[in-house]
Every structure is written in structure tokens, then in C-alpha cells.
A and B are shown apart, each in its own frame.
Chain A
Amino acid sequence: MDWGNFAQQLVNGLSLGAIYALIALGYTMVYGVLRFINFAHGDVFMIGAFAGLYINRWLKPFFTGLPEALSTAVVLLLSMGACACLGVLIEKLAYKPLRNRSRLTVLITAIGVSLFLSYSAQLIFGAAPKGFPNLFNSTTHDLPGGASATTEQFVVLGVTVLLLAALRWIVLGTRMGLAMRALSNNPAAASLMGVNTDAVISFTFALGSALAAAAGIFFAMLYQAIDPFMGILPGIKAFVAAVLGGIGSLPGAALGGVLIGLIETLVVGYSQDIGIPSGYRDAVAFVLLILILLFKPAGLLGKSEREKV
């Protein structure tokens, strides 16, 4: 066994998993408050990457002399803010008018929104992949055991941990977070407490979309190319991650994302040893989805929920 190679696969898998985790959190939060899967979420991830590209390009002249950490943070935060607005807008325009319709109607609308965003992005940015610039000077760092990690990977992992901690604080420690959890548990009772359902739903979309934007920029940093359809596969894999962790569960989404990232990377890294050609990497998540739905439909950390009559 080549432990150096294994450690390397873990590093790569963790950084990919961090990205899936950030996207999966948005799926699971929106599911928590509205009980539907926002299939346009992967496209918000894509818009996040493009926002990062253009915001960096426009602000470049102002960045001279600034530390790279600061300019990167500015690009990241502005893109997250832009996508938070986009998420709120999507909800207000597309989903809110359907609040009292069947969930299937909303689900199909979400697919429509997804296509609308992808093709609008194609119209605006062009279909050809665009290179994503280095936001900071990157080197390769040697890790114990013969593996190595790029500065990007460190940034992705470190900032993801920060974002997860911030999210945890918002959900468990603030009045808005408590209202989110109450709304998710019992919408009618929440409005009896004075919770403005629309405001909490907007906030949830803003939060989820901001995390998706961060994921989009991280993805662009690691793979250095972005295109209007880059959101489709990571979007669906993150959805699988949310289901794997237990849809509606925030720790579940984070865990599911990391697991999907690790498993996908390991299958590709050891494709010759286990006899699965690496071209099947995108199938891994879907095989997992089928297995979860067959054997543990509530997910790893999810609670099975009885429909109320």
C-alpha cells in the first residue's frame, strides 16, 4: 500500500468534499423550510463562480498594494452577497407565487429556473469555458507522508470550516436561526409565534445561495476553468450528498458532502486496483443515491418524518 498516494487522495477528496458540502447545505436548508428540492441551486453555484471572475476583474485596479488575503476575501464576500440577492430574487419571482400549489409544481419550476439560469449565462458569458485567474500566489506544500497540498486546497478547507462555524452559530445561536428551525418544524405554529414566514424563507435562500457562491469560487480556484454548465454535476452530486446525510439535517449535509467528495476521489484514484474505470467517476454518486434510497432512505443523520394528516 502506497500511503503517500492514499494521503494525497484524502487531501484531494476533502477539498472536493468541502465544495459539495457547501452546496448540499443550501439544498437541505431550503428543504427544511419549504419541503422541496431547489434544483436551480447548482446554477447559483455557477453564477457564484462567474461573479467571482468579474468582480475580481473589475476590482483588480483597486487591489494593487492590498494583501492577497484581503483582496481574495473581498472577491469572495461580494460574490456571496451577489448570489444571496440572486437567491432571494429567485424565490420571490419563481417560488413564492406557487407557495400554495403542490410541491411537484414548485419542483418542475425549479428545473425551469435552472435551465433559465444556465442558458442566460451562456447568452451573457458565452459557451466556451473561461479561465479563472489566481486570486493569490499559490505554491505546493509538502505534507507528512509524501502527500502535498496546494495553497488553494488549504484556503478551500480553512474557509469552509470558517463558513460552517458561522452557519452553525447563525442556526443555533441567533433569533433568526431559531425561527428557521421552528418554521421547519411546524410552519403554522411558527406564524402563531409571530414569525414572518416570508422573511425567514428569504433569509434561508440568501444563506444557502451565499454558501453556493463560495463553493463556486472554490471550485473555480481548484479547477481554474468555469463555464455556464459547470453547476449541473456538482449540483446533482451535492443533492445526493444532502440525501446521503439526511435531507433537512445540516450536519448531515456537511458530512454527506465530504463523504461524496472522498468516495468519488478514491474511486478515481484507485480505479485500476478496484476495476472501475475512472470515466465512471460521475456515476459513483448516483450508485450511492440508489443504495441510500434502498437501505436508509432517511439518510445517515436524518430522522424519518411522518407526514402529518
Chain B
Amino acid sequence: MLEIRDLVVGYGEITALHGISLDIPRGRIVTLIGANGAGKSSTLRAISGLVKARSGSIVFEGENVTRLPAHKIVGRGLAQSPEGRMVFSNLTVLENLRMGAHLRRDKAGISADLDHVFALFPRLKERLQQAAGTLSGGEQQMLAIGRALMSRPKCLLLDEPSLGIAPLLVRSIFDRIVQINQELGLTILLVEQNANLALKISHSGYVLETGRVILEGEAAILRNDPGVRAAYLGEA
């Protein structure tokens, strides 16, 4: 569904991605793991058009979206819940969710999707009129994911959904991610530092190191790879 070939991304003098290739098949959860600075977020930023690729291609459902501006990507069915959540802090929870549906005009569909999001994250419904900046970290993460869902995407890009969130909430958010994949049938590209958790819920994964893919394969195989276990799963 999403094919990335030889993607090179850089900021000024620094090259963040040295030509990576990824395949995200329809209906799967694919995870991207790696240390800080490995290029995980740069990959998602490039897919969403927030940074321009220097070379390489990003093809989504047969369409080359490499050069599309950021605001056009979401209309193609690729939504992102970005790193650091980036909720609109001085808008209410409801306004944030409405922003997720910015490009849609189907009122009935939007309100049906609002109900979906509330079913996934009942906490958001209780906070509807509250400014998003006053939510806890976990609630902001729910909002960021819910907001991305409001565009009714085909593929969801999740950047570090566990970052800075209480461990108990992390579990529940990861359960919701599985639910989104299974019940709504969304393809998910998940970027995580918590490799253990990410590999548990994913079908396959890629290990990134300093802007290159050093390992790829089925999640179960990666979890048992001695190199991965040593470097990312905290085992000696």
C-alpha cells in the first residue's frame, strides 16, 4: 500500500536518511524502531510532506506522492499523529477533532466518525469543551490519534505514541492501536522507541540506525534476533 524507495532526507548540511526503502502492506502494522536520531521521525515527516525528500520516492496506492505539499497528502488517505502530539493547545478537544476532518464536507460521516473516536477513547468525550493544552499527556496522545482518524485515512502514521506517557496508559493506547488496525482495517506505520511493545503488536518491522535500514523482517523474528535484543530490548 505504501512503498518507499531509496528515500534521502536532509536538513541543511545534515543527512538524516541515507536512502531507505520500506514496504507497508495493506492491513498490516509495520513498526520502525531505532535509537534517537536514527531517522524514524524524519521518515514520517517525509511521508507526510513536512520535509521534502532529496531523492527517492514515496508511492501510496500506486500514486507517487513524493512531491505533494503536506496539506495534500492527508487528502490522499495518509494521516499522521506526529511526534510530541502537536495538539492545537488553545482549541477545544472538539475543535481539534473537527480540524482532523478539515478536508471533509460530509457532515453525517464526520459525526459518525466522532462517535467512533469517542468509542475508542471515551475520555475525550468527557473533555470535549476543554482546551487541549490542559489535557494530560496520555489524553493528548488519544486526541492526536483521534484527530488523525477524523480524516478517515487508509493509512495511519503514528510517531512515538508512548513518549512521555504513564506506563499504564501506554498499554491501553497500544491496545487501541491494535483495535484500529483490526476493527477499522487501517494500515499502520508505527514509529517507536519502546521496541519491545512495538514488536509485540506489529506484523513486521524495520530497524533503523543513523539513517539506514540495518535489519528488517517479521516482528516475531526481529524480537528473537540477538542483535535487536541486545540493542533495543534491553538485554545483554
Minimal beta-carbon separation of B157 from chain A (angstroms) = 9
Query: Which of A21-29, A87-95, A189-197 interfaces with chain B?
Result: A189-197
Counting CB contacts under 8 A, is B95 at the interface? Answer: yes
Q: Mark A173-191, 1 if CB is under 8 A from B, else 0.
A: 0010011011001101111
Query: Could you tell me if A178 and B99 are in contact, using CB atoms closer than 8 angstroms?
Result: yes
Contact A178 B71 (CB under 8 A): no
Most B CB atoms within 10 A — which of A178, A182, A193?
A193
Smallest CB gap from B79: residue in A: A192
Report A238-276 CB contacts with B as 1/0, cut-off 8 Å: 000000000000000000000000000000000000000
Contact with B along A44-67 (1 / 0, CB 8 A): 000000000000000000000000
Mask for B125-157, Cβ within 8 A of A = 1, else 0? 000000000000000000000011001000000
Residues of B within 8 A of A195 (CB): 71, 99, 102
Inter-subunit contact B151/A194 (CB<8 Å): yes
Cβ–Cβ contact B74 & A186, under 8 A:
no
Also in contact, A197 and B88, with CB within 8 A (given A191-B50, A192-B48): no
Asked whether any CB of chain A lies closer than 8 Å to the CB of B170, the reply is no
Residues of A within 8 A of B64 (CB): none
Query: Judging by beta carbons under 8 Å apart, are A189 and B71 in contact?
Result: no
Question: Cβ of B34 < 8 Å from any Cβ of A?
Answer: no
Q: How many residues of B contact A (CB 8 A)?
A: 27
When chains A and B are docked, how far (Å) is the Cα of A186 from the Cα of B69? 17
Chain B residues whose C-beta falls within 8 Å of the C-beta of A194 in the assembled complex: 71-72, 74-75, 102-103, 151
A43 to B86, CA, bound (A): 37
Measured between C-beta atoms, what is the minimum distance from A176 to chain B in Å?
A: 10
Residues of chain A in range 162-212 having any CB-CB distance to chain B below 8 Å: 175, 178-179, 181-182, 185-186, 188-197
Say yes or no: B86 contacts A186, CB within 8 Å.
yes
- Please determine whether B102 and A186 come into contact, CB atoms closer than 8 angstroms: no
Indicate if the CB atoms of B90 and A197 lie closer than 8 Å: no
- B98's partner among A178, A188, A303 (CB-CB below 8 A) is A178
Kindly state whether residue B201 has any CB partner on chain A within 8 Å: no
Q: Note all chain A residues with C-beta closer than 8 A to B49.
A: 191
Interfacial residues of chain A within 128-175, with CB under 8 A of chain B in the complex:
175
In the assembly, what is the distance between CA of A93 and CA of B135, in Å?
A: 41
A192 and B98 contacting across the interface, CB-CB below 8 Å: no
CB nearest neighbor in A for B150: A193
A197–B147 CA distance with the chains assembled, in angstroms: 18
| A179-B102, A181-B91, A185-B91 as given contacts; A191 in contact with B86, CB under 8 Å | no
CB neighbours of B80 from chain A (8 A): 192
Q: How far is the CB of A252 from chain B (nearest CB, A)?
A: 14
How many whole Å from B56's CB to the nearest CB in chain A? 21
Residue-wise, chain B 67-88 has the 8 Å CB interface mask toward A (1 for contact) of 0011110110001101000111
Cα–Cα, bound, A186→B79 (Å): 16
Given A188-B50, A192-B50: A181 and B71 interface contact (C-beta under 8 Å): no
Asked whether, in the complex, the Cβ of B71 is within 8 Å of the Cβ of A197, the reply is: yes
Q: Contacts A191-B50, A194-B103: A182 and B74 contacting too (C-beta < 8 A)?
A: no
CA distance A181 to B87 in the complex (A): 12
Known: A191-B71, A193-B99. 13 other contacts (CB 8 A): A178-B99, A179-B102, A181-B91, A181-B95, A182-B88, A182-B95, A182-B102, A185-B89, A186-B88, A188-B70, A189-B87, A190-B99, A193-B147
The 6 closest A-B pairs by CB, nearest first: A191-B70, A189-B86, A194-B103, A194-B74, A185-B88, A193-B102
22 residue pairs from A and B, CB less than 8 Å apart: A178-B99, A179-B99, A181-B88, A182-B91, A182-B99, A182-B102, A185-B88, A185-B89, A186-B89, A188-B70, A188-B82, A189-B82, A190-B88, A191-B69, A192-B48, A192-B82, A193-B71, A193-B74, A194-B102, A194-B151, A195-B99, A196-B71
